[in-house]
């Protein structure tokens, strides 16, 4: 884990602990994916709101604490704004909101971001812009059928500017969903939908994700980057434990989590 | 009505580079020329209404104004949450065109009827609902919808053809205005033509078309309440999901009179029998003859 991504986790931990919000483990899982995407795009164009900017859509909207913490790291949100996260009267609610400047689309109900991002990719092509669309989805989110409607069309259209990043941590709200509705093999499913598929065995390795994004979009097909991540990554008692899908750390739990994150030997 | 609609669409797309036509695999022999003329701004997304609306939202993000075409019931109900979250929540302004209303698809069975399509849509902010009754009304409504910037428009229209034979100046207007009568039939969509035909055999009532369902036209409603003792709301959709329901809310909220307000609409059931639109209209008291008879007996 890089020092930057460790610090982003500390920020997320503070945001969620102070507000009592949910989804800390979902946010920890996706930190490297989101940061890799922001490092791969022209953030200046996003900041300026240029119409030929790359689009980033957080389809797994419940991981939005990670999105906002990463956006702050890229100068798209201030620390003061982050401090309001999930508190009364804040724009920064527990799911991604387009009322927050530079957030492309509000999400929360699963399976919405992928079709919307597809529309953005189609629109970029129609306007003859070279920009790309990156959509971050959860693995359990892929149980929603609307995703596959979008993927079917993206594959048919050979939309090379459409890139789906899957946070494949294997755990949904109720636990390990392999036990009730397995979605594996995800890679084969995407291939059968005519995607170029890149699998990353350590989906919490930011460099590998950046490298995969660099490789993507060159073929005449949309890309699926499947990142095998760990839910709750960075705090041992949260890792792969479904309890932390909802539960915010309080008191001693918070202190313990801070201490663990601070003790990580960063890269 | 569809002929005029597609003439409007083709002309508008030619004039406005921000219009983008999407269909959910509907419009055989109607939409092909749009794809030929505007390959970069027209797309058949396949039989996938959720994706249709999601893609439309993404296009709005790029500054396009999508025109989305499908069957009324699939568009309003299959993709309801996409309309809510991805369109209305964002204040986007696509135009949804839902073909077939009421019992138009009667012989195809209850899955293909549009009796309850407005129930959910009426509750959503940032969307207008139109139910044009004539080709001229459709033309006017399309002009209004194309001009909307921060509101979506849902236009549900019947397969049935009807013309008043004159230009209309407002979506909500008298189609038959008679002096010194106590009753007005307040209607929208296809039922306006049935009321019009009913008025030809019963001269005791006026016919007012309220083709803009939402936002509710309180101004005209107040005038009708002042001018008529009896207001019969005639519609080929469930009363809980249409104009009657809006009228009731309006009069209660405004402390207006509630007597003399009557609904003439289909029973709120899913009929196990199938049949033509005329069969169902007759069965539900909505044929021109039955409407005339109903008002006669009031």
- The pLDDT tens digits of the residues spanning B21-56 come to 999 999 999 999 999 999 999 999 999 999 999 999
Dihedral over alpha carbons A115, A116, A117, A122 (to 10 degrees):
90
Contact across the interface for A124 and B53, Cβ inside 8 Å: no
**B79 located within any domain:** yes
Q: Residue B193's domain spans which residues?
A: 172-297
**Do B182 and B280 fall within a single domain?**
yes
Contact across the interface for A118 and B58, Cβ inside 8 Å: yes
Taking residues B76-98, report their average pLDDT: 98
Q: Cβ–Cβ contacts within 10 Å for residue B250, how many?
A: 16
**Domain count across chain B:** 2
Residue B173, φ and ψ in degrees, nearest 5: -160, 165
The reported pLDDT for the residue numbered B186 is: 98
**Do B90 and B205 fall within a single domain?**
no
**Do B289 and B180 fall within a single domain?**
yes
Is-contact A123 B41, C-beta < 8 A? no
Instruction: List Cβ neighbours of A188 (8 Å cut-off, separation of 6 or more).
Output: none
**B162 located within any domain:** no
- The pLDDT tens digits of the residues spanning A14-49 come to 999 999 999 999 999 999 999 999 999 999 999 999
Is-contact A42 A262, C-beta < 8 A? no
**CB neighbour burial string for A128-160, b if at least 16 within 10 angstroms, e if fewer:** ebebbbbbbbbbbbbbbebbbbbbbbbbebebb
- Specify which residues B172 forms β-bridges with: B210
ipTM over 0.95: yes
Pairing mode of beta strands B42-44, B65-71:
unpaired
Which residue do the tokens 């009913």 mark?
Answer: B198
Q: Where are the beta strands (DSSP E) in B120-229?
A: 127-130, 152-157, 172-176, 183-187, 205-210, 212-214
Pairing mode of beta strands B42-44, A55-58:
unpaired
User: CA angle at residue B85 from B84 to B86, to 5 degrees?
Assistant: 105
**B100 located within any domain:** yes
Residue finishing a domain among B134, B157, B180: B157
Which of A114, A123, A153 is nearest residue B59 as measured by Cβ atoms? Answer: A123
The reported pLDDT for the residue numbered B166 is: 86
**Do B153 and B227 fall within a single domain?**
no
How far lies A245's CA from each of A76, A172, B94, in Å? Answer: 26, 8, 36
The reported pLDDT for the residue numbered A174 is: 95
**B165 located within any domain:** no
**Do B132 and B235 fall within a single domain?**
no
The enclosing domain of B108 has a CATH number of 3.40.50.970
Residues of chain B contacting A116 with CB distance shorter than 8 Å: 54-55, 57-58, 61, 86
Measured between CB atoms, does B91 come within 8 Å of chain A? no
Number of helices and strands (H, E) in chain B? 12, 12
Q: How far apart are CA A126 and CA B136, in angstroms?
A: 33
With CA atoms as reference, report the closest residue to B20 among B2, B45, B46, B1: B45
- Band (pLDDT 50/70/90 cuts) for residue B164 is confident
With CA atoms as reference, report the closest residue to A109 among A77, A150, A73, A137: A137
**Do B130 and B257 fall within a single domain?**
no
Taking residues B151-157, report their average pLDDT: 98
Cα of A100 to nearest chain B Cα, Å: 12
Tell me what percent of chain A is helix, strand and coil, each rounded to the nearest 5: 45, 10, 40
- Specify which residues B152 forms β-bridges with: B127
Average pLDDT value over all residues in chain A: 97
Contact across the interface for A121 and B59, Cβ inside 8 Å: no
Taking residues B59-78, report their average pLDDT: 98
How far lies B241's CA from each of A88, B121, B183, in Å? Answer: 35, 9, 23
Q: How far apart are CA A14 and CA A200, in angstroms?
A: 29
Contact across the interface for A149 and B58, Cβ inside 8 Å: no
B165 has pLDDT over 90: no
Pairing mode of beta strands B183-187, B152-157:
unpaired
Determine the residue among B41, B50, B51, B92 to mutate to test chain A binding: the one whose Cβ has the most chain A Cβ atoms within 10 Å.
Answer: B51
**Do B191 and B252 fall within a single domain?**
yes
Pairing mode of beta strands B183-187, B205-210:
parallel
Is-contact A198 A216, C-beta < 8 A? yes
**B112 located within any domain:** yes
Per-residue pLDDT tens digits of chain A, which is 267 residues long: 999 999 999 999 999 999 999 999 999 999 999 999 999 999 999 999 999 999 999 999 999 999 999 999 999 999 999 999 999 999 999 999 999 999 999 999 999 999 999 999 999 999 999 999 999 999 999 999 999 999 999 999 999 999 999 999 999 999 999 999 999 999 999 999 999 999 999 999 999 999 999 999 999 999 999 999 999 999 999 999 999 999 999 999 999 999 999 999 998
Question: Which option is the CATH number for A3-263: 2.60.40.10, 3.40.50.10380, 3.30.450.20, 3.40.50.970?
Answer: 3.40.50.970
Q: How far apart are CA B111 and CA A72, in angstroms?
A: 49
Residue finishing a domain among B100, B132, B157: B157
């Amino acid at each position: 884990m890089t020092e930057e991504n460790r610090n982003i986790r500390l920020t997320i931990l503070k945001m969620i602990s102070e507000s009592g919000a949910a989804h800390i483990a979902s946010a920890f899982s996706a930190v490297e994916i989101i940061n890799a995407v922001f490092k791969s795009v022209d953030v200046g164009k996003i900041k300026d709101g240029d119409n030929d900017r790359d689009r980033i859509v957080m389809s797994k909207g419940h991981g939005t604490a990670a999105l906002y913490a990463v956006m702050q790291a890229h100068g798209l949100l201030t620390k003061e704004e982050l401090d309001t996260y999930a508190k009364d009267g804040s724009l920064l609610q527990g799911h991604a909101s387009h009322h927050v400047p530079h957030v492309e689309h509000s999400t929360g109900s699963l399976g919405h971001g992928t079709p919307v991002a597809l529309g953005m990719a189609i629109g970029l092509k129609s306007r003859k812009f070279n920009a790309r669309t990156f959509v971050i989805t959860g693995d359990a989110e892929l149980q929603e059928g609307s995703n596959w409607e979008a993927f079917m069309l993206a594959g048919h259209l050979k939309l090379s500017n459409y890139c789906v990043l899957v946070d494949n941590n294997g755990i949904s709200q109720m636990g390990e969903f392999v036990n009730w509705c397995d979605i594996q093999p995800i890679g084969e499913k995407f291939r059968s939908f005519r995607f170029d598929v890149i699998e990353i065995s350590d989906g919490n390795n930011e460099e590998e994700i950046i490298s995969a994004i660099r490789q993507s979009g060159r073929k005449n097909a949309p890309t699926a980057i499947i990142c095998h991540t760990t839910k709750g990554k960075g705090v041992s008692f949260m890792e792969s434990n479904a309890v932390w899908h909802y539960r915010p750390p309080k008191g001693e739990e918070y202190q313990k989590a801070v201490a663990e994150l601070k003790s990580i030997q960063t890269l | 009505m569809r002929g005029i609609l597609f003439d409007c669409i083709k002309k508008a797309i030619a004039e406005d580079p921000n219009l983008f036509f999407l269909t959910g695999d509907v419009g055989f022999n109607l939409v092909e020329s749009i794809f030929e003329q505007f390959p970069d701004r027209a797309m058949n997304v396949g039989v996938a209404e959720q994706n249709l609306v999601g893609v439309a939202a993404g296009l709005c993000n790029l500054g396009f104004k999508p025109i989305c075409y499908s069957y009324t019931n699939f568009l309003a109900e299959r993709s309801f949450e996409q309309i809510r979250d991805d369109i209305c929540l964002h204040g986007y302004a696509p135009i949804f065109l839902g073909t077939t209303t009421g019992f138009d698809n009667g012989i195809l069975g209850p899955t293909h009827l549009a009796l309850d399509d407005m129930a959910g849509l009426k509750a959503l902010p940032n969307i207008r609902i139109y139910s044009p009754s004539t080709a001229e009304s459709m033309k006017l409504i399309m002009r209004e919808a194309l001009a909307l910037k921060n509101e979506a428009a849902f236009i549900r229209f019947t397969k049935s053809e009807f013309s008043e034979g004159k230009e209309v100046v407002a979506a909500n207007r008298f189609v038959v205005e008679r002096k010194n009568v106590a009753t007005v039939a307040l209607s929208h969509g296809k039922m306006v033509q049935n009321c019009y035909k009913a008025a030809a055999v019963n001269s005791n009532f006026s016919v007012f078309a309220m083709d803009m369902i939402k936002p509710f036209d309180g101004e005209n409603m107040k005038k009708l309440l002042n001018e008529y003792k009896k207001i019969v709301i005639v519609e080929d959709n469930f009363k809980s999901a249409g104009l009657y329901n809006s009228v009731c809310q309006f009069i209660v909220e405004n402390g207006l009179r509630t007597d003399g307000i009557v609904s003439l609409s289909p029973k709120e059931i899913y009929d196990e029998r199938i049949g033509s639109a005329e069969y169902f209209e007759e069965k539900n008291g909505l044929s021109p003859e039955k409407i005339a008879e109903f008002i006669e007996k009031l």
